[in-house]
Structure 1
Amino acid sequence: MTNWINTVSRDHVERGVRGRFTQANHGKPHMLRKMSRGDWIVFYSPKTAYPDGQPLQAFTAIGQVADDEPYQAEMTPDFLPWRRNVDFLDCVETPIRPLLDDLDFIEDKSRWGYKFRFGVFRIDDHDLEVIRAAMVPQACASLMPAPPSR
């Protein structure tokens, strides 16, 4: 199982949660093809809306990939984005700044936003647990299986 972060504005995350899906990299399939059923995916939102929303800098959703392959959806006749189905957890939006010192994927704490420019990227089990513990109410966290260690 792999853990992922997907960098997406909050308004787009909210659409995905309502529809139980994720897109990545403006609808391109490359990173979605690397995901497998059961992989964890955390959504980081630098802004409230794309492209001109207010700064947010928070984790806004978390869930697990719920299908085996990406599929295309028709948003308009000219826009057929690739998606993956996601089973989202109930969670609270969580600002990133209080977590920065505990996140290993952020190597340079003075330039912590740099990593998110990649859109979708892998994180290790430790970082998933730091984020998940902050986002998921304790009652739910105790019911969730821990990801297997590698």
Structure 2
Amino acid sequence: MKKGDFVVFYSGKQTLGKPEKCQEFTALGKVLDDEIYPFQVSEDFCPSRRNVEFSQSKDTSIIPLIDDLYFIQNKKSWGYPFRFGFFEINKHDFDLISSQMLRI
């Protein structure tokens, strides 16, 4: 990611470590700068963070979009791409997701 890139966040679960599903795109934002910094979450967890300006958006289910998202090649195992953290998607997919999220 670099300054000016847009990011879409997907949440597979309601709460980390618990079984209740979310399966929604839950945030949309723009990377503000090129700074990467550590953020201490707990004693043994310190992930890297980026400064992002978030848009006002609504949580959007992935389920009705699966067939139209190019980054999901295997529609039966549609959750597979999310196992690896951040990844780049094409303009078509970004436009489809963001258009749904920005319908407020």
Aligned match of 1:84 in 47, 50, 53? 50
For residues 48-67 of structure 1, the aligned pairs below 5 Å read 48-67=14-33
- For residues 36-64 of structure 1, the C-alpha deviation after alignment (integer angstroms, 9 at most, x for no partner) is 01111100000001011411111001101
SS at match of 2:78: helix
Aligned match of 1:119 in 85, 92, 96? 85
SS at match of 2:33: coil
In structure 2, the partner of 1:133 is: 99
Q: TM-score, normalised by structure 2?
A: 0.91
Kindly tell me: are residues 89 and 52 of structure 1, through their superposed partners in 2, closer, same or farther at Cα, counting changes over 3 Å?
Answer: same
SS at match of 2:46: coil
What root-mean-square deviation, in Å, do the aligned CA atoms of Structure 1 and Structure 2 show?
1.5
Q: Which runs of 5+ in 1 are unaligned?
A: 1-34, 139-150
Q: Greater share of helix residues, 1 or 2? A: 1
Q: Which runs of 5+ in 2 are unaligned?
A: none
Q: CA deviation at 1:118?
A: 1.2
SS at match of 1:120: coil
In structure 1, what is the Cα distance between the partners aligned to 2:43 and 2:57? 34
In structure 2, what is the Cα distance between the partners aligned to 1:136 and 1:76? 33
Kindly tell me: are residues 97 and 36 of structure 1, through their superposed partners in 2, closer, same or farther at Cα, counting changes over 3 Å?
Answer: same
**Which amino acid counterpart does residue 64 of structure 1 have in structure 2?**
K
Aligned match of 2:60 in 83, 94, 100? 94
- Identity percentage of aligned residues: 47
Q: TM-score, normalised by structure 1?
A: 0.64
Aligned length: 104
